[in-house]
């Protein structure tokens, strides 16, 4: 049976490499569509959890893995020799930045080498990891063809960007339209058929490069617009004007304006990182990327702005940061999830600690910190009660988790630094609330 027939009859086996925020929901989408799914990851803790039927990503719901396990047609492994069992292999591994803000493609390269060693005729490989235009053709394709099989006839290769937004309730992997660009026409057709069998709307584009660049445009658009409102926040705050009320007012325009919201800095695996994949690649064609660099500079400096506002507010009360007790509310980079990657809260904690403050945090979704690429903090979330709040000189609202009772916080904290504009939503006396 050829691959297209296997896909349309759902007898194809789907292998997903990298079972994180992107890979696990994608595996679940194919499983729900009726496919037999095999997940691969190098993290043995994840594989063990999946074998026990446990989901390690809170926001996907407790029953996600249990349901797959009880339905069957699902296995997970760290044994890459099993790649030959899959008819379609989708790569969802990390694409971070290196120490000098250069793309770190080592995860993609490692994974591609694993696949190349077992590649067999009739397989489809799709890269989903966000990366610069040209990665699929210039890096993945030569590695896969290195043992003699030809793309477009022996095997097939495409890029399809993930548009996952962890924690979002109104959209899911199945409902978010999916771009697909093949390395050649046949690869494009087969990968479109694959995604159409699990995802509501699939949009074929003319090449893998268009799909790669479209993903970067989406994320750069967000990074630039977030930088713009962050700059507007700093300007308007200096004028005594509330940026959040300004955005709410502007957002009443039915066309030509999309609201973006300021914050203490960027977080997550996408917006702080992906734009710099393009700035790096743009050097190859001698093109400057001034918008992206400027947006990066503004967004990167936002934690310093928050610290400056905190310092001034404490000073107004006759206090110094040095020796103060400060509580950070929210370690996750956005509401109602446990994702702390690139979270500006870590920068706030580290810098305030360096300035001599005793810093603690509360996050209902993050009971303890763990070692990460750029931060190594050993902390646990402290209690958040009316009484505990009175122990702090200052409370910084870094994330507006819906579990937070902001009225209670406003009633009990001595000083609040509000980076999310939440306090204008609660009725309270405002002289101890500082927008930052
Ligand atoms: N998180 C998001 O919201 C999001 C959205 C869109 C696109 N993306 C992109 O998707 C890709 C994956 O992101 P993520 O958020 O799922 O990352 P993640 O860190 O949550 O998951 C990646 C997984 O890959 C595993 N892994 C690492 N190296 C591996 C290897 N060599 N072989 C097998 N598994 C390996 C890790 O153990 C981890 O479980 C990135 O390129 C990211 O930019 C992420």
Q: Which residues pair with 263 in a beta bridge?
A: none
124 CA → ligand 1 middle, Å: 20
Residue nearest to atom 37 of ligand 1 (CA): 43
Residue nearest to atom 27 of ligand 1 (CA): 93
Confidence of residue 427 (pLDDT cuts 50, 70, 90): low
Instruction: Report the greatest alpha carbon distance in the chain.
Output: 78
Instruction: Retrieve residue 145's tokens.
Output: 């063809």
Residue nearest to atom 33 of ligand 1 (CA): 41
Residue whose pair of structure tokens reads 């027939």 in the numeric block: 5
Beta 124-127 vs 74-77: how paired, if at all?
Answer: unpaired
CA distances from residue 111 to 95, 98, 107, 120, 187 in whole angstroms, order as listed: 12, 18, 6, 16, 19
Residue 428 predicted with pLDDT over 80: no
The string of DSSP letters for 318-380 reads: T--STT-EEEEE--SSSTT----TT-HHHHHHHHHHHTT-EEEEE-TT-SB----SS-----B
**pLDDT tens, 319-333?**
999 999 999 999 999
d(CA 194, CA 188): 10
Residue 353 predicted with pLDDT over 80: yes
Return the pLDDT at 59: 85
> Do 274 and 220 contact (CB within 8 A), yes or no?
yes
18 CA → ligand 1 middle, Å: 6
Residue 416 predicted with pLDDT over 90: yes
d(CA 367, CA 46): 19
**pLDDT tens, 20-54?**
999 999 999 999 999 999 999 999 999 999 999 99
Quick check: CB of 188 below 6 Å from ligand 1? no
Quick check: CB of 110 below 6 Å from ligand 1? yes
Backbone angles phi, psi at 287, to 5 degrees: -105, 135
Q: Look over the chain and give the mean of its residue pLDDT values, rounded to a whole number.
A: 95
The string of DSSP letters for 157-193 reads: EEE------TT-SS--TTTS-EEEEESSHHHHHHHHH
Quick check: CB of 26 below 6 Å from ligand 1? no
Confidence of residue 166 (pLDDT cuts 50, 70, 90): confident
Quick check: CB of 173 below 6 Å from ligand 1? no
Inter-residue long-range contacts of 235-240, CB under 8 Å, 24+ positions, other chains counted: 237/309, 237/435, 237/436
Average pLDDT over residues 306-311: 98
Residue 373 predicted with pLDDT over 80: no
Backbone angles phi, psi at 102, to 5 degrees: -100, 150
Return the pLDDT at 429: 60
> Do 26 and 60 contact (CB within 8 A), yes or no?
no
Instruction: Retrieve residue 205's tokens.
Output: 């584009």
| Count of other CB atoms within 10 angstroms of residue 43 | 13
- HSE, CB side, 13 Å, CA atoms: give it for residue 319: 19
Backbone angles phi, psi at 178, to 5 degrees: -115, 125
d(CA 97, CA 205): 27
92 is catalytic: no
Single out the catalytic residue among 37, 151, 270, 324: 270
Return the pLDDT at 372: 79
> Do 434 and 422 contact (CB within 8 A), yes or no?
no
> Cβ contacts of residue 234 below 8 Å, gap of 6+?
305
| Count of other CB atoms within 10 angstroms of residue 8 | 13
Q: Which helix (H) or strand (E) holds 297?
A: helix 290-300
Confidence of residue 2 (pLDDT cuts 50, 70, 90): very high
Return the pLDDT at 6: 97
**pLDDT tens, 83-129?**
999 999 999 999 999 989 999 999 999 999 999 999 999 999 999 99
For residue 78, give the ligand 1 atom closest to its CA: 33
Q: How many residues are recorded in the chain?
A: 436
Instruction: Retrieve residue 3's tokens.
Output: 């691959």
d(CA 399, CA 343): 10
| Count of other CB atoms within 10 angstroms of residue 22 | 25
> DSSP strand E in 92-155: where?
124-127
Of 162, 177, 217, the one to substitute when testing ligand 1's pocket (max ligand atoms within 8 A of C-beta) is 162
Confidence of residue 248 (pLDDT cuts 50, 70, 90): very high
Quick check: CB of 106 below 6 Å from ligand 1? no
């Amino acid at each position: 049976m050829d691959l297209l027939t296997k896909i349309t009859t759902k007898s194809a086996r789907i292998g997903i490499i990298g079972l994180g925020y992107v890979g696990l929901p994608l595996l679940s989408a194919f499983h729900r569509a009726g496919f037999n799914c095999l997940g691969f990851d190098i993290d043995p803790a994840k594989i063990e959890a999946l074998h026990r039927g446990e989901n390690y990503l809170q926001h996907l719901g407790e029953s996600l893995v249990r349901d797959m396990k009880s339905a069957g047609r699902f296995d997970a492994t760290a044994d890459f020799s099993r790649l030959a069992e899959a008819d379609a292999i989708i790569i969802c591994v990390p694409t971070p930045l290196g120490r000098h803000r250069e793309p770190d493609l080592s995860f993609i390269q490692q994974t591609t080498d694993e696949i190349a060693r077992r590649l067999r005729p009739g397989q489809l490989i799709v890269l989903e990891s966000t990366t610069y235009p040209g990665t699929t053709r210039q890096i993945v394709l030569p590695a896969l063809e290195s043992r003699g099989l030809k793309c477009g006839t022996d095997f097939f290769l495409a890029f399809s960007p993930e548009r996952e937004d962890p924690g979002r309730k109104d959209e899911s992997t199945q409902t978010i339209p999916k771009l697909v660009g093949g390395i050649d026409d046949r690869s494009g057709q087969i990968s479109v058929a694959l995604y159409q069998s699990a995802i509501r709307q699939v949009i074929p584009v003319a090449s893998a490069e268009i799909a790669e660049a479209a993903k970067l445009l989406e994320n750069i658009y967000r990074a630039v617009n977030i930088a713009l409102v962050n700059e507007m926040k700093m300007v308007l705050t200096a004028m005594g004007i509330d940026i959040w009320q300004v955005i709410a007012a502007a957002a009443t325009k039915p066309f030509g304006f999309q609201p973006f919201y300021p914050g203490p800095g960027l977080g997550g695996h996408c917006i702080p990182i992906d734009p710099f994949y393009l700035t790096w690649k743009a050097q190859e064609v001698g093109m400057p990327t001034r918008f992206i660099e400027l947006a990066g500079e503004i967004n990167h400096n936002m934690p310093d702005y928050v610290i400056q506002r905190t310092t001034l507010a404490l000073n107004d009360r006759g206090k110094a940061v040095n020796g103060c007790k400060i509580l950070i509310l929210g370690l996750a980079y956005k509401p109602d999830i446990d994702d702390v990657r690139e979270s500006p809260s870590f920068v706030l904690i580290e810098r305030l600690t360096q300035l001599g403050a005793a810093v603690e945090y509360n996050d209902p979704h993050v009971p303890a910190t763990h070692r990460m690429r750029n931060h190594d903090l050993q902390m646990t979330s402290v209690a958040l009660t009316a009484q505990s709040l009175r122990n702090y000189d200052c409370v910084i609202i870094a994330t507006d988790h819906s579990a937070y009772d902001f009225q209670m916080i406003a009633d009990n904290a001595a000083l609040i630094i509000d980076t999310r504009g939440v306090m204008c939503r609660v009725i309270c006396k405002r002289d101890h609330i500082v927008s930052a």
